[in-house]
Structure 1
Amino acid sequence: MTVKEAPITYFEDNLIFDVNGDVRAGFKVPDDHIDYRSEDEQIQISDEWEDFYWNLKDEAHLLMVPRNLELTDHFDKLKGQVVEDLKSFGQEQLDRTLNYLKQPRDGQEGKYFHPDHQVKEKRETFTYDFYVLMKLKKTSAHLENFRDRLKFRFKDLKRQIDNLSGVSLPEIFEEELHNYRVQENMAYQRLRDLFGNCKRMSPDEIAYLIKQAFWRGIADPPQLMGYRIQAVPDERDGEPIRRPKKSDILRLTGGMQDDQHGRRLRVKQYVSGKKKGKGAYKVGYQCFLVLSHIPDDRPVPGTNWVNWLQSLPFPVALSKRVVPVHYRKALSRVRNKKKELGDQESHIHSAGGSVPRYLQDAIDGTEELEGDLVQDRFPLLETSVTICVYADTPEELERRISEVTDLYEDHVFQVDIPHGQQFQLFQEFLPGSPILVKDYMQSLDPTMLAGSFFGSTRSLGDRDGIFMGESDHLDVFCDFTRGPRDEELSQSPAVCFVGPPGQGKSMAADYIVANLVYLDIQVVVIDPKNDRGHWPDIFPEEFSRHIRVVTLTANKEDRGKLDPLTSSGKDGANTAKKILQTLANVPDGSYVATAISEAVEDTLEDETAPNMIQVLKRLRTHYEQQVKTDADTTQETREDFKQKLYTLEHHSQRGQGQLLFSDGSGESINLSNRLTILQIQDLDLPEEGQSEGGRLGVALMVALSDFARAFANQPSKKFKVVLYDEAWRMRKTREGRNALKELILTGRSKNSALFIVSQNAVHLKMADSQQEDGDEIQNNLGMRFIFRPGTGKEAERACDLLNIEPTDENIRSLQKLRAGEFFLYDWEGRVNKVSLPLKKMNPELFRILDTRPNQREALLRELEQKKQGKEPEMPEVEVVS
């Protein structure tokens, strides 16, 4: 067994002290996506890293660390969020999803996985975090006179001797710590200037990164919250110091490590069971591979050699050590090497031989590098790159090593597995550790290092939330409440689903709704196609009793359901005025508009249960007692008022207009259910500028918008969602556009989200005039789900919505999407293709949400047969045993 001293002695905040007395400051850098980005955008990202390397003053340690999502724990957490009265339904849905996610990724297409069928194969779900640790310059106390500085150096020398001899604990002078903090802050500001949302590593992160190294290949280590290393305050010759306890670091290590194999490391840990006494020792295997040759003649961008690792279906870790060499020193090295190669060439010539090809290539490369250094004056970067591969069996480890090796050797990189140095490389992965293996350092220029695209990711979505599909070998989860809740994001929670009919946009939106409801999120769906009217009949009773379907028709029984005064009282006054003015086609400030306003206000003031029919009665009284009898009223005014009043009374008694006029006998729409579906069909909306016809449609749209606004604005700690299906209808009127804009812009403050479902990305461009760009909706969208566009023009607009360049390649990628596949733009602006395997994962839910007419008819026939007591003919479902 290998037992060696930990290379780290102490950490405080994000400062880490190693056994040599060196200090490194740790930072977490934001990830970025490069897939589907144009070459210019990739160059811009590369330039930021090149700037970082150009200005590197001392050693930097770059770490790419996988973070596993333990699926069972994740779904247990979600189950804990399921509301009590939907426990059975919610947990069954989650169990089905979890069971699917336990299947091998290359499972059979179209198979049905029974929820009780358990599979032993392990499926790993993970993302990557990126860290930069900057070595700080050794500092001493800032003492004013020579005598004090000499005295401090003597004490510092004495401290180092004591530390090396092991006679005392490590010591840290308080003034040194202050000076390191000054350097750390400068490094932090520099990184923020380059990469934006850079964060200081927290002590919990440092503790986790240390501990997880000893658990790779076994499991995620036990959670650490609030872990701190204790430092005992003391004095040395009158100066305040701290003495860290070595045991605090050792507690983070633990387990046993065995490197006797030579080319791999065996780690062993005791893993506690969920039940008392059910724990056991488990073994993991780690191997550390080094990139012993990195070709420096590859294009940038185009050789994204760190990003390549994310194409692997299993997690790996990467450590990159970079030590800058000033260009003058680098030039001296190159010239010495050139002289050495020249001597070899002369010796061969003098012996009458010919210069080998490898030697000539080395001479040519050295001369080229010398010329570049003289001209560009760039630093050389002594670099070592180590990849940690790990697994729970030696056989799986060998398979993974082979995949990593093939990945790089296919691109003419050389990969070695150092013999006898596995434990040192293991230690090098610990944050804040010194460089322990220098045999594989090689000189690279800043451009080549920047072109590796450290920090780029293929991950999507969130580490919490519901399962939304698969992106290659990565599982994607989405937390639809994080946008407004996360202080760093502070984004609008609005979401859009865009694509032509039949590509799965409505199914994806409805799948999300079904999940959100049992997670205690209240939802209102405005459904103009009657796609969801059968839900209360087909969903399990536990879920269906929380669904209220409100069908808005021209029938008498639906009278007054959209009456704004009945539903909202005084809060509905402006809506009532707008509806009446729209139906009567009267402008603001006119005589009739003033009379309407007074009638609404009087009704609200005098009636305990106000409604729109009472407003019409007041308008009729106003006409009979004032307009008709007042000698000062012109004939034209009388006729105009009479005509407008007749129009309003006509709408109040016939067709869909009855929806807006309650007489007090019916009930208004109750939005207290967990899920309310408002269905209104045959909504006739005019095009912009059209004055005749469609005014009733506009008035109904105003009323619907008012209901959505009132629902979203109601004070509640619960998150709320308004889903507008076929949102292009809203775009056709100024009132509809204003309603969407208001719901999007106020959603974050009102703890509510607007979900927009539309057929074309161009429908989200909503300008009220030619002077506006119409991008207000798009610019305030959070997540975006884009399904296969119908035409090239639509694909170009979809690229704009995804914030990617409309290149031929990106347009082809969009047009090659299949039904159920989509491009996801997540909270961080990352983009990639996702497939939602709902049919395999949950075939019953897939059938319920399937909006294809023939499938819906078959489902309704089965419902009818059940009502008649007949055994329905169920379609054959293949079960995988």
Structure 2
Amino acid sequence: MADVQTPMKTMYRNLLLTRGGDVWAYHRIKAKSIPKQNEKEVESYKKRWREFLQELTKYQDFHFMMYPQEYQLHERFENLKQDVALDTEDMANYYLDETESLLGQRLGTVTKSDFIVGVRLRADMVRIDADVKENMMSMLSTATDTIVNLLGWEQEVTTSFFEKYQEAEQELADTMGMVDGAPLTEKEMIYINRYHFIRGLDHQVSEEMANASRKAVTNTLIDPTSPSVLNLNSDEDEGYISFVVIDEFPRNMADSDLFYETQALPFPVEVDIKAQVESKSQTKMKVNMKKKQLRESAREQNQTGDETDASISESDQMIRNLQDDIKKDDVHMFNWMAVVIVDGQTKKDCLTRAKMVKRRLKSMGIVARIPVADQLSLFYKFLPGEPIDVKDRNWMQKTSQDGLAECLFGVNASVGSNIGFFVGWIDRFEQHKDLDAAIGSSRDPVFFHPFLANQQIKGTKTKSPHVLITGDTGNGKSFLAKLLFIYISLLDIKCLYIDPKKELRKWIRKVMKNQQVRKDFPLFVEHLERFHFITLDPEDQANWGALDPIVFLPSTQQKEMVTMIFEQVYDFSGKDDVHTAFLQSITKVQEQKEKGEKVGSMHVIYEMQAHEDVDVRKAGNFLYEVMADGVMRLCVHDGSNDALSLNRRISIVEIENLDLPEVNDSYESYTSEQLKSSAVMYALGRYCELFGQNKDERTAEFMDEAWMLTSNPTGKKVEKKMRRVGRSYSNALYFISQSTKDALREEESNNFGVAFAFDEPTEREDVLKWMNMEASDENIDMLDGMFQGQCLFKDYYRRTAKISVECLFDEWAGVFETVEASAVATAEEMWWA
């Protein structure tokens, strides 16, 4: 057994004092989510890092660390439970616990990549303001430190020692601001140091943060006796780790993307780079020597009659370019080592992962090795506070800051909410044979909370709670919408689902009739029984007038809505007298309503039928015949029936016997019945607007087939008002449609805080633009290659990623089905070769 000594002596805030007297400062880099295929954005990020590394060259030693930080899913779900409704508490607790368990079974420990930069502060940057005696004591302290530690004593370091570094650390922090860096807290420093001794081992982050002593940080037995691995044994767990060392990068490091690409591996990895700036004098000397060697090689080849090798000519040109850059003083050379660290419960598991890392790197043109006998020395070399020794030439890389920037440190593919429900997996634009393969290869779960956009959360780019779900029929948008609806129904939110196709009730009933589901999942069945279904069927007299504007709208909104409904079936243009009489009739009916009389929109027609003007009476008679039967009875009645309730917490409104036009039909081509159906949809839209106008409660409306509202100017006006409600009220509109065109209107581009875009072949360039992605051929091909159930997801932070939607619970998935597979379809899959 070997007890590896950490370089750490003590810590203060984000500073680490080593046994050798060096002080390192550690900062967390806020990860930036960039779609890898957004080439311009990636290049802009690398340019910023080249500039940052240039600023960093005033220091000498650096540590770039990407490690799989535990996601602490249990703690996050405990936070989410604070938003759960009292009547769904048991079900929400059960399914959140199930989510945690199922993700744990798939992934082991759920992690996300965290990015840390350590910088050794130079002693000549420290402001010495102590008197001579204090300076001498400080020198004595450093000189005797080794002896004291050999005696097993801890030498106390006062805070005044670290205060001398305050100015130097502040200067470094300002530089770190270029890449969104922030100092670690002291607890985080404790954990970062402890992490190296418990990689892959079961532990609680909060507990490890609480153990501040050096003995607690290093409390792990490390056994290096097995080749190519180290055996770690802590109080809690036992496992293996292996260092995979980068031996050779391609000559041109462009797009090497080491940190980003390794995140796509199907297991958690740590990637570390230890770097050291080379002095300009050393660089010039080595460049001149290299140039001399190349010319001698070329001369020898020419003397033997051979032509100069292309590699020599290419290297000579690179040396010349480097000399020119050095003269301009805008290039520094870095010596650095890079490792990828994997873990496993057994030696076999660990080595299998190490070999997978080698294969992944090989596909990127990077040569890696799994050292047999140097695992322990690598462990020590990559501990925080330990600088590399450039005399050790094994695995050493030499590049300018441009080469380091190409490793793409600090970039991930994150999207969604830090607190929220599970909705699927990030797909890093890899090639997969089907949706299951895409899901199975991802380690990046996606979570989403429906009510965060307007909570003034730091970093969000929108205040709109509205959500756009678009895509061609059959790609999965209805499945996602229903999944989100079930999740929202668990929260303390009043929610409404408009289902023009009457699909949801069918599948819910099917699930509820399943005796096995009733037996195994009683909480789910009990929850479904809370759903209040309202079927707006004009054949049922009890529904007549359910959407009558005179009955359910405030008086200030009645006239506008009544006019809009009537204009769907009667053209008032050129008939000023009739139009005036019509408006006067509305006013008279409103006055009757204010007096307490039971009236409805049909009374407007009665007033016109009784008018002294013959043309007005004719118009009234016509409207009576049109409104007296069919779907218009839902909107035009005598006030004797109640309108839709605004008080139910979970409601699903269906509309039976509507003749809805197709999405691509022009408004001018609508038939008489389609115009009437459109009028009902507009009235329903206004009901939704009213549904979300109570400032004392949070509300959400799901508008399926929402394109119905935006197919003509009148409907667009209603839909626009619905979206405006969310700006000043806690109201979210889930706009489910086949087209993004309405969302892409410039004046409305910020009205949807979140968007899920499934493929729509005729609008791919528009979809990419809306989703903050480049409309490149590569991205268009990516949309074309998406499977059913995959979409682009743009979150509150304006981050975009390709995701694979998944519901973890089979009993839920039965509710979301929109097409029942036939026996032949099932057989087709079975015989697929």
Which range, TM-score by smaller chain? Answer: 0.7 to 0.9
The alpha carbon displacement at 1:564 in A equals 4.3
Q: Do the aligned partners of residues 499 and 325 (structure 1) sit closer, same or farther apart at CA in structure 2, a change above 3 Å counting?
A: same
SS of match in other structure, 1:390: strand
**1:127 lines up with 2:82 in the alignment:** no
Of 554, 570, 579, the match for 2:538: 554
State the partner residue of 2:121: 136
Of 489, 493, 496, the match for 2:465: 493
The alpha carbon displacement at 1:595 in A equals 3.9
State the partner residue of 1:732: 711
| Contact 1:484–1:490 (Cα < 8 Å) also in 2 | no
Q: Provide the aligned length of Structure 1 versus Structure 2.
A: 779
State the partner residue of 2:62: 60
After TM superposition, the structure 1 = structure 2 runs for residues 476-625 of structure 1, keeping only pairs within 5 Å, are 476-481=445-450, 482-485=452-455, 486-489=457-460, 491=462, 492-535=464-507, 537-540=509-512, 541-555=525-539, 556-564=541-549, 566-567=551-552, 572-585=554-567, 595=584, 598-599=587-588, 602-603=591-592, 605-607=594-596, 612-613=600-601, 616=604, 620=607
| Contact 1:536–1:547 (Cα < 8 Å) also in 2 | no
Q: Do the aligned partners of residues 355 and 666 (structure 1) sit closer, same or farther apart at CA in structure 2, a change above 3 Å counting?
A: closer
State the partner residue of 1:703: 683
**CA displacement, residues 31-80 of structure 1 (integer Å, 9 cap, x when unaligned):** 33454524333322221111112222213322111134477887788789
SS of match in other structure, 1:395: helix
The alpha carbon displacement at 1:377 in A equals 4.3
How far apart, in 2, do the equivalents of 1:3 and 1:664 lie?
A: 85
**1:27 lines up with 2:22 in the alignment:** no
| Contact 2:454–2:465 (Cα < 8 Å) also in 1 | yes
SS of match in other structure, 2:360: helix
SS of match in other structure, 1:292: strand
The alpha carbon displacement at 1:228 in A equals 7.2
How far apart, in 2, do the equivalents of 1:565 and 1:177 lie?
A: 74
State the partner residue of 2:354: 401
How far apart, in 2, do the equivalents of 1:756 and 1:214 lie?
A: 49
How far apart, in 1, do the equivalents of 2:207 and 2:487 lie?
A: 30
State the partner residue of 1:113: none
**1:169 lines up with 2:155 in the alignment:** yes
The alpha carbon displacement at 1:179 in A equals 6.0
State the partner residue of 1:658: 633
How far apart, in 1, do the equivalents of 2:314 and 2:607 lie?
A: 99
The alpha carbon displacement at 1:340 in A equals 7.5
**1:682 lines up with 2:667 in the alignment:** no
SS of match in other structure, 2:277: strand
After TM superposition, the structure 1 = structure 2 runs for residues 323-338 of structure 1, keeping only pairs within 5 Å, are 323-336=276-289, 338=291
How far apart, in 1, do the equivalents of 2:646 and 2:565 lie?
A: 26
| Contact 1:592–1:641 (Cα < 8 Å) also in 2 | yes
State the partner residue of 2:781: 812
How far apart, in 1, do the equivalents of 2:489 and 2:759 lie?
A: 28
Q: Do the aligned partners of residues 153 and 294 (structure 1) sit closer, same or farther apart at CA in structure 2, a change above 3 Å counting?
A: farther
State the partner residue of 1:673: 648
TM-score (norm 2): 0.80
Of 218, 222, 232, the match for 2:201: 218
| Contact 1:577–1:600 (Cα < 8 Å) also in 2 | no
**CA displacement, residues 389-448 of structure 1 (integer Å, 9 cap, x when unaligned):** 111111111111111223334555343445665445435555555547862443211222
Gaps of 5+ in 1: 105-121, 230-246, 272-281, 629-637, 766-773, 859-873
State the partner residue of 2:223: 258
| Contact 1:29–1:199 (Cα < 8 Å) also in 2 | yes
State the partner residue of 1:848: 815
SS of match in other structure, 2:258: coil
**CA displacement, residues 96-144 of structure 1 (integer Å, 9 cap, x when unaligned):** 767765777xxxxxxxxxxxxxxxxx65643212222333343677578
SS of match in other structure, 1:713: coil
| Contact 1:511–1:849 (Cα < 8 Å) also in 2 | yes
Gaps of 5+ in 2: 428-437, 513-524
**1:413 lines up with 2:382 in the alignment:** no
State the partner residue of 2:274: 321
SS of match in other structure, 2:32: coil
1:381 counterpart letter in structure 2: F
The alpha carbon displacement at 1:317 in A equals 0.4
SS of match in other structure, 2:459: coil
Deviating more after overlay: 801-810 vs 260-269 = 260-269
State the partner residue of 2:257: 304
| Contact 2:511–2:811 (Cα < 8 Å) also in 1 | no
**CA displacement, residues 451-477 of structure 1 (integer Å, 9 cap, x when unaligned):** 121222244444543332343422423
The alpha carbon displacement at 1:794 in A equals 1.9
Q: Do the aligned partners of residues 777 and 220 (structure 1) sit closer, same or farther apart at CA in structure 2, a change above 3 Å counting?
A: farther
**CA displacement, residues 207-235 of structure 1 (integer Å, 9 cap, x when unaligned):** 3323333222222434259x579xxxxxx
How far apart, in 1, do the equivalents of 2:124 and 2:386 lie?
A: 18
SS of match in other structure, 2:273: strand
1:656 counterpart letter in structure 2: V
The alpha carbon displacement at 1:732 in A equals 1.6
How far apart, in 2, do the equivalents of 1:489 and 1:438 lie?
A: 47
| Contact 2:589–2:599 (Cα < 8 Å) also in 1 | no
The alpha carbon displacement at 1:783 in A equals 3.5
Q: Do the aligned partners of residues 348 and 478 (structure 1) sit closer, same or farther apart at CA in structure 2, a change above 3 Å counting?
A: closer
How far apart, in 2, do the equivalents of 1:707 and 1:178 lie?
A: 63
| Contact 2:362–2:368 (Cα < 8 Å) also in 1 | yes
How far apart, in 2, do the equivalents of 1:691 and 1:846 lie?
A: 36
After TM superposition, the structure 1 = structure 2 runs for residues 35-114 of structure 1, keeping only pairs within 5 Å, are 35=35, 37-56=37-56, 57-58=58-59, 59-69=61-71, 85-86=87-88, 101=103
| Contact 1:584–1:645 (Cα < 8 Å) also in 2 | no
How far apart, in 2, do the equivalents of 1:3 and 1:295 lie?
A: 37
The alpha carbon displacement at 1:725 in A equals 0.9
SS of match in other structure, 1:612: coil
1:606 counterpart letter in structure 2: K
Q: Do the aligned partners of residues 433 and 560 (structure 1) sit closer, same or farther apart at CA in structure 2, a change above 3 Å counting?
A: farther
State the partner residue of 1:378: 331
Q: Do the aligned partners of residues 75 and 580 (structure 1) sit closer, same or farther apart at CA in structure 2, a change above 3 Å counting?
A: closer
State the partner residue of 1:278: none
The alpha carbon displacement at 1:786 in A equals 2.5
How far apart, in 2, do the equivalents of 1:740 and 1:11 lie?
A: 58
SS of match in other structure, 1:223: helix
| Contact 1:744–1:780 (Cα < 8 Å) also in 2 | yes
The alpha carbon displacement at 1:283 in A equals 0.7
How far apart, in 2, do the equivalents of 1:71 and 1:93 lie?
A: 13
| Contact 2:342–2:354 (Cα < 8 Å) also in 1 | yes
| Contact 1:565–1:611 (Cα < 8 Å) also in 2 | yes
| Contact 1:263–1:419 (Cα < 8 Å) also in 2 | yes
1:487 counterpart letter in structure 2: K
How far apart, in 2, do the equivalents of 1:253 and 1:739 lie?
A: 65
SS of match in other structure, 1:334: helix
How far apart, in 1, do the equivalents of 2:658 and 2:479 lie?
A: 22
State the partner residue of 2:701: 722
SS of match in other structure, 2:468: strand
1:809 counterpart letter in structure 2: E
After TM superposition, the structure 1 = structure 2 runs for residues 451-490 of structure 1, keeping only pairs within 5 Å, are 451-470=406-425, 471=427, 472=438, 473-474=441-442, 475-481=444-450, 482-485=452-455, 486-489=457-460
Q: Do the aligned partners of residues 374 and 733 (structure 1) sit closer, same or farther apart at CA in structure 2, a change above 3 Å counting?
A: same
How far apart, in 1, do the equivalents of 2:203 and 2:727 lie?
A: 35
How far apart, in 2, do the equivalents of 1:132 and 1:775 lie?
A: 41
State the partner residue of 2:521: none
